[in-house]
Amino acid sequence: MFQGLRPRAVGAVTVALLLTLSAGAQAASAALQLYRANGGQSDSGSVVTDEVGRQVTIPAKVNRIVTLAPDLTETIYALGLEDRLAGDTNYCETPPEAKLKPHIGAPLNPSLEAIVALHPDLVLASTSINRRETVDALARLGIAVYASNPHTVRGMLDSVKRMAELMGASAEGNALVQPLQARLDALRARLSELPLAHVLFVVWQEPLISIGQNTFIADALHWAGAESVILSDQNWPHISFEEVVRLQPDYIVFTSNHARGGATQLADLRARAGWKGLRAVELGQVVVVSDEIARPSPGMVDAIEQLARELHPDALSTQSGGRSPDDGARGQLRRFFAAGEDCVSCGR
């Protein structure tokens, strides 16, 4: 099921609205067919099953790609395929060059007309933030749409490899994924004998929202040597402060787009009702991790390593062979993830 990662109320976008094409959309669809008929990409290709079970015909050559989510845009750049990226969303800001691409609107309600007008050979969608209605509407226009649906960190890496194959970039996919998997395996080996840190991962503060056990963020925590104190089958459960006080997590984990500096944030928490009653806040065990940890893209591995260093500094200090904060994918993939820590609002 497609769902938004940001657990905030959003205006309902009806199926009828998404499937009702204006004259502009119809003209764009006709232009797409004309493009294909006059030397553009043909409709022939291989039939694959995407990650939500849909049958998709992928063109033999994928020269023009449109992404509908920030994590997918990051993946395109990480693969070195940015020259094929014909368009992305209004909120795709990592790397900074992504902001210069033509935009097709917000992930929840992109402009079908704008997408079709870009003559894409392939559109990439994500269940983390896109709507199934959008995917179905594009498919009805004859556009190939592949939907990714990773639930784990390994699943994210597998999805990256799979999408690279669809774009005729298997070598690039392997070159990107294999070192990332090796880093994760090395991290797990170093942390295997240590007890898991019990953390409260804060998705949203007001109301207080955390993560469920079946999210890819929960899996990322395990790779970092941690587990959530919240046990819930809901992906984004609302939590009362009374419950958090009862559970008394070892650490409170915020993402960088929901925090404004460690010391200031900690001082703020110590002055706020509810938060100041937590031992983790009293002890200063509040961690601000890169918001990459909340997006199923290659940059997540950096964030996992960062969080592991914060939670297990003795095991992962630079003196004991761990990575420094500037190592990892921020160094290895510096040209892809060299942006600042601005909020990428559509990835939540």
| pLDDT at residue 141, rounded to an integer | 94
Q: Is there a common fold for 15-149 and 195-334?
A: yes
Give the C-alpha separation, 123 to 160, whole Å: 14
pLDDT tens for residues 239-256? 998 999 999 999 999 998
For 15-149, which CATH class? alpha beta
Contact 96, 344 (CB under 8 A): no
Give pLDDT < 70 ranges for the chain: 1-44, 258-265, 318-348
The residue extents of the domains of the chain are: 15-149, 195-334
Closest residue by Cα to residue 69 from 97, 49, 93, 102: 93
Give the C-alpha separation, 11 to 301, whole Å: 33
Correct CATH for 195-334 of 3.40.50.1980, 3.20.20.70, 3.30.110.40, 3.20.20.80: 3.40.50.1980
| pLDDT at residue 161, rounded to an integer | 97
| pLDDT at residue 205, rounded to an integer | 86
| pLDDT at residue 273, rounded to an integer | 77
